[in-house]
Amino acid sequence: MVAEAALRRTRTSAAVVEYLQREIFAGSLRYGDRVDVERIGTTLGVSPTPVREALVLLERDGLIATRVHRVAFVQHFDARTLRADFHVLGLLGGVAAARVAKDRDPEILARLQDLLRALDDSGADNADSADSGRLLDLAAEIVLLQHRAGATPRLLADLRGAGGFLEWAARQSDRRAPGEIVEAQRRVVDAIVAGDPRKASRARLQDTRAAAEQVIDELIRRGVLRADGTNAAAG
């Protein structure tokens, strides 16, 4: 019973995390705003405990800063900090991709190629459709397989920690045509299959840095960032 209660709370705190991510991404919560635990709990119909757990996770992501008496505020971010954070995520992902290319495990290579074919087929099916959910799911599965196959336990933990909001925001901002999504993953997978660690690493970093620009463009469009990339709530 205790384990079940903990699992339910974890799922609830994940819902709070997504709610706050959306509020920040939409500009409803801006840099410097106080995060009201009681209001969020009332809005979502949850106790303060999962809200506070969510704040801990978001503080790890750099979105929230907790000050004296556990009062939480939205942390500063702008185009410059986002580019730096995505760059770190791309470097970490590049290390994992390079290790997969160096190891060349036949089973992993086959699974990557199968996923790439499924991605290609889905891209063709969705060429004239605005619904890219299946494409993005497959692209994320390719990246996750590379992480799991190529990362040490410590690196995998770092990737999970560095991902968080960045990966969520990248998915919300992805406006690429299906062919672009397929091609970005193809560059990494082809380099891995060819056994070229350096090229695989560069391709993964390139894809991640491109995601940063999409997120920044989307935040500018929403008015969260100014056209010059500064935070609209900053003085």
Mean pLDDT calculated for residue range 200-221: 97
Mean pLDDT calculated for residue range 159-188: 93
- pLDDT band at residue 5 using 50, 70 and 90 as cut-offs: very low
**Considering only 127-136, 149-158, 215-224, which range has the smallest mean pLDDT?**
127-136
> What was the pLDDT predicted at 224?
97
Tens digits of per-residue pLDDT, 48-66? 899 999 999 999 889 999 8
- Dig out the tokens for 69 from the structure: 């008496």
> What was the pLDDT predicted at 70?
76
Q: Is 32 helix (H, G, I), strand (E, B) or coil?
A: coil
Residues in contact with 195: Cβ distance below 8 Å, sequence separation at least 6, in sequence order: 101, 102, 104
> What was the pLDDT predicted at 132?
73
- pLDDT band at residue 6 using 50, 70 and 90 as cut-offs: very low
> Is the pTM above the cut of 0.85?
yes
- Dig out the tokens for 31 from the structure: 């840099």
Tell me which residue of 66, 85, 73, 207 sits closest to 146, measured CA to CA. Answer: 207
**Considering only 53-57, 79-83, 93-97, 195-199, which range has the smallest mean pLDDT?**
53-57
Buried b (16+ CB within 10 A) or exposed e, 59-69: eebbbbbbeee
78 neighbors 215 (Cβ within 8 angstroms): no
